[in-house]
Every structure is written in C-alpha cells, then in structure tokens.
Amino acid sequence: MALLELNGISKSYAIGGEVVHALRSITLKIEKGEYVALMGPSGSGKSTLMNILGCLDSPTGGTYILNGKEASKMTENELADIRNKEIGFIFQTFNLIPRSTALDNVALPLVYAGVKKDDRIARAQKSLEDVGLSDRATHKPNELSGGQRQRVAVARALVNNPSIILADEPTGNLDSKTSYEIMNLFEEIHRKGNTVIVVTHEEDIARHAHRIIRIKDGLVDADQPNPARSAVAPAH
C-alpha cells in the first residue's frame, strides 16, 4: 500500500468571474521512504499539490488516500492531528516566530501535541543538535543567518518524528553554498527513513531527489526516477 495516493485530483478556484483550474486530474503514488521532487514553473500547480498532500487544502475532485485513510472522510481534528504529528512542514520563508528563541520555535509543535514541558525542551534540544545548531538554542531568528533559520525550521519539522517531510522551495531564500548544506541535511533525513517531498522550480535542487515528478498546467507532465540518485536505496 502506498503511503500517499492521489486519484484524479483536481482543484479549481473562482477568481472574479473566472474559474482557474490549478490541478487537473492528478493521479500518482508515493511510497514510504521515497525522496521525491515536485518540479514545475511558477503557476504550474505544484504548491497547490503540496497543500493537498499536507492536508492544508482539500481538492475539488478526486480522492486523496493518506496511509490507507481517505482525507475527505477525516474530521478537522483528525486532519489537524496528522498535520501536527505525521507531517513536518518546511517553507521558503522559514515561518519562525520572531520574538521566540530557536528552542521555543522548535518546541512549538510539541505544545500543540500536549507534550509536557521538560520533555518538550529535551526533544527540541535534541532536534536542534541533529541539525547542528545546539549552540544557537537561545538565539532569536534575527540573530541567525538565513541558513541557520532554515535549520531551525528543519529541526521544528522533525521534532515530532513525522513520517513525511514536505518542503516548499526550502532553499528559495538561501545562497548556493547554504542551499547545498540544507539539501545535504535533507539527504541525511531521508537516509534515516523519512519520506521526503521537495517542491522546487530549480533543477539543481531537484537533482538531490531519487524521483522527479514534473507538473505543468496542473497535470503530471513527467514522472521518472532520477538516474543519478535512484540506485541509492532508502534506509528503513
């Protein structure tokens, strides 16, 4: 059974008097432990697709089955639980709370999960350590470089031990050297057994993935293994 399964997924928006078809009948499967890049130019529908995969948005048509359960049949509480515990989100703009320390930012999902304070702090510290930032725990976002801020965001995404990491243009605000470091971190996360899905329009970022799905005009234009990477088996 696939971890994520989309069957005939479509998404339309009414803007003014027009209907915009962001996705048109997307059908694909992503297995546990895969490392996938969703590629496409701006306006291709890739971010809409990521929002549906992350249960942040619901499709207009089709079915989305996540770990054997149909997303449309889940309650709001069940969906919120999945977003908090099953999926780790990483965004281009980091989405950190400016007045909170790195440690508090990382611990935030654990607050929502109802984890006790001592356990929250211990787990957040371990997560920062895993991304090489244990010495920056008390720093606020404005005291960190762009790369360090993204590492904090990665640590926050990992703190609940999610099975799926969803990253939307994770290197969009970073220089090429820092981008390379962040992508190496993603490879490490994947080797530990996580399913990693990266949304990008950059070929050099997509090349880190083992499978590249190209989206164009709301459709799957191509879906192929990355020959340079797919020979490397995911860790389980």
- pLDDT tens for 26-43 read 999 999 999 999 999 888
What does the alpha-carbon distance between residue 110 and residue 115 come to, in Å, rounded to a whole number?
5
**Spatial contact of 49 and 26, defined as CB atoms under 8 Å apart:** yes
Domains assigned to the chain: 32-59+75-225 (3.40.50.300)
The predicted pLDDT at position 176 comes to 87
For the cut 80, the answer to whether the pLDDT of residue 179 exceeds it is yes
For the cut 60, the answer to whether the pLDDT of residue 16 exceeds it is yes
Tokens of 70: 């149909």
**How far is residue 122 from each of residues 85, 103, 115, 191, 192, measured CA to CA in Å?**
17, 10, 11, 23, 20
Within a 10 A sphere around the Cβ of 188, how many other Cβ atoms? 12
The predicted pLDDT at position 21 comes to 92
The predicted pLDDT at position 233 comes to 44
Which of the residue ranges 11-20, 22-31, 72-81, 84-93 has the most confident prediction, judged by mean pLDDT?
Answer: 22-31
The predicted pLDDT at position 121 comes to 95
- pLDDT tens for 131-168 read 899 999 999 999 999 999 999 999 999 998 898 999 99
What does the alpha-carbon distance between residue 42 and residue 80 come to, in Å, rounded to a whole number?
28
What does the alpha-carbon distance between residue 53 and residue 49 come to, in Å, rounded to a whole number?
6
pTM of this prediction? 0.89
The predicted pLDDT at position 234 comes to 44
Tokens of 107: 């611990």
For the cut 90, the answer to whether the pLDDT of residue 107 exceeds it is yes
